[in-house]
Structures are given as C-alpha cells and as structure tokens.
Amino acid sequence: MSAVLACNLPGQLHAGLVAHPKKSKTISSKRHDALLARSRFWREVQREKKVEQLMEKYDKSRTGNLNVKELGDFLQDAAKGIRPSDEEINFVMRSAQAKDGGEGDSITKSEIMIALDVWRHYEKTKPEIEAYFKKYDTNNSGMLEFDQLKNLLTDLNDGVAPPDEEIKWIQSNSDGSVRGIQKTGGVNKTELMGAIALWYTHIEEASNKTTTSSCCVIH
C-alpha cells in the first residue's frame, strides 16, 4: 500500500500500517541483550573448561584444591619457568582467598582464576618493586623497615620527609594487610605497592581537606 493511500486512511488503521520506531528499537534492544547473554554464557563455559584443565594438570594430590606446592607449580608456569618466592606464593593464595572468602593452606577450584589475576597484576609491578628494594633495602632484609620506608616516601614526596606518625600509620596498615599473612615489622615486596597506594591516597585526602577548609573561610 502506498504512503499516500496510507495517509488517507482512518487514524487507527493508519497506525496499524505505519512502522513504530520505538517498537523496533525495543526488539533490537532485546536482540542485543540476548546476544550479550549468549556471549557471556559461552565465556563462562570456556572459563569452566579452562579451570578443569588447570586442576587436572596441577592438582597432583587429587584433593580438588591446589596446595602451596601445587599453586607454586602453577604460578611458575604462568611466570614462564621462574618460580615465585614462598612470600609471593603465600601472597597470591591469601589474596585469592580474601576475595572468595576461603581459608587454609590451599585454594579451591573457584579461586584458581582469581589467583592467576592476582599474580598477573603483581607481576606487572614487580620490576618497579625490585628497583625500589634495590635502592632502599640497604640491609637486604627483604622488607623495608621504618627508616627505609621513610626514605622512599620522602623521595616520592619531592624530598619532603613525611611526619613519623604518618610513616608509622602507612607501615602499620600495610604490614600483614592481607588476611592470613603474618606481620613482619616492615613492608615486604608483596605489600610495597599497596603501601605506596595508601600513601598517595592519604596525601590526596589531606590535600582535599586543606582545600575544603580554605574554601570555608569567611573573609
């Protein structure tokens, strides 16, 4: 039927013949959502398949979990043959457990991909961490003690030494910050980037408070 003829029809009949953009848009949106849901489903299927393959390969004890040694083997392969330190393995295990509510000396099947994500994120920052420790861990203790952490934060603060109280606060909130990791009295390699992030957050909040206070002054 031509557009001219359609325009001469009664209102209700005409409405039934003319396309409704809103309705078409709704159908298109539903189709898009369905495609996204299907994509998510297949990603989850592939993820589960990957997890099963990893457990089959590394769960040598056949417990359904990865113990410390098995997790170390898994991370070693992820690190292209370089075995992580005991500290790093423990850090990955405790971090994965913290995100999934787990505990004990093994990770479950549901935590293995979390562990891999934690390791990959840490691995990206490792060169920077090693450089910091080479410069500031002057006694090669494997952790930054108070004065060493102070030197690092001073350099990050353009040469201005932070108050001792702030350094103690950063150290206290970084040392053993992941549930299940014992405090050592210093900041170790797996805790360092968290300590630096905490420091930057602290000075940013302090700066915002100062700005807010200045704005509230009535002249």
Per-residue pLDDT of the chain (219 residues; tens, 9 = 90+): 444 444 454 554 444 545 555 556 677 787 777 777 776 656 665 767 888 999 999 999 999 999 999 999 999 999 999 999 999 999 999 999 988 788 889 999 999 999 999 999 999 999 999 999 999 999 999 999 999 999 999 999 999 999 999 999 999 999 988 877 889 999 999 999 999 999 999 888 877 766 555 555 545
Residue 129 phi, psi dihedral angles, 5° rounding: -60, -45
Residue 143: which of 89, 200, 185 has the closest Cα?
185
Indicate if 161 and 203 belong to the same structural domain.
yes
180 within 8 A of 190, measured Cβ to Cβ: no
Domain that holds residue 141: 137-219
Which residues lie below 8 Å from residue 72, measured CB to CB, with a gap of 6+? 83, 84, 89
Domain assignment present for 10: no
Give the pTM.
0.71
Of 74, 93, 123, the position where a domain reaches its end is 123
Domain assignment present for 160: yes
